[in-house]
Amino acid sequence: MNGRRLRLSEAEESSVSRFHLDTLVAIFLLLFCGIFLTASFSIRETSYASLGAEVWPRLILIFLTLLSFGYLVQSVRHHGRPEGAVPERRGLRQWFLRHLNAFWCFLWFGLFLLSLPHLGMLAGGVVFVYATLTSLGRRDWYGHLVHAAIAVMSVGTMWAIFTYGLKVFLPAGTVFFF
């Protein structure tokens, strides 16, 4: 070694910092889930419900804990980039392009929230799901058909479950009355 410090290449340095960041985020998520799961045991019981008020929060937290644990395992097993990988270019434009899908999702969700009083949950939800799938996925005629089918079936099923099964009043809108 001759008294010199070994310096990591840019790709190795990036993968090492990414490894630590992913591991720290996974540990934070597990702590978050543990704290809230513990807090769910102090939810008071109600006498009018057939299902306890603590059941759904616990189920969601258990599922989130399993996902966080999988994230931790994946971050520990990740060994960096394959040999010969080119390091990422940095800059505002590259950051924006790398996160473009997330920006599309936020844009469509914001427009969905703005259109909710006018279109209602059912029509607005179908438009939101279709627009999000189309902006993220295929844009040919087959993709449009698949996205439309997924949007109508998923939002329609959720709307029916909440409206008829759970008796929840969802926003009806002023353009369409369902």
pTM: 0.57
Which tokens hold the place of 19?
Answer: 């490894």
- Tell me the pLDDT band of 8, cut-offs 50, 70 and 90: very low
Instruction: Express each pLDDT in 91-129 by its tens digit.
Output: 888 888 888 888 989 999 999 999 988 898 899 999 999
Phi-psi region of 78 (alpha: psi -120 to 50; beta: other; left: phi over 0): beta
**127/119 Cα distance (integer angstroms):** 9
Q: Which residue blocks in 137-172 are alpha helix, DSSP H? A: 141-160
**Residues whose CB is less than 8 angstroms from the CB of residue 118 and which lie 6 or more positions away in sequence, other chains included:** 124, 173, 174, 175
State the sign of the Cα–Cα–Cα–Cα dihedral 126, 130, 136, 137. Answer: positive
Which tokens hold the place of 99?
Answer: 């996160």
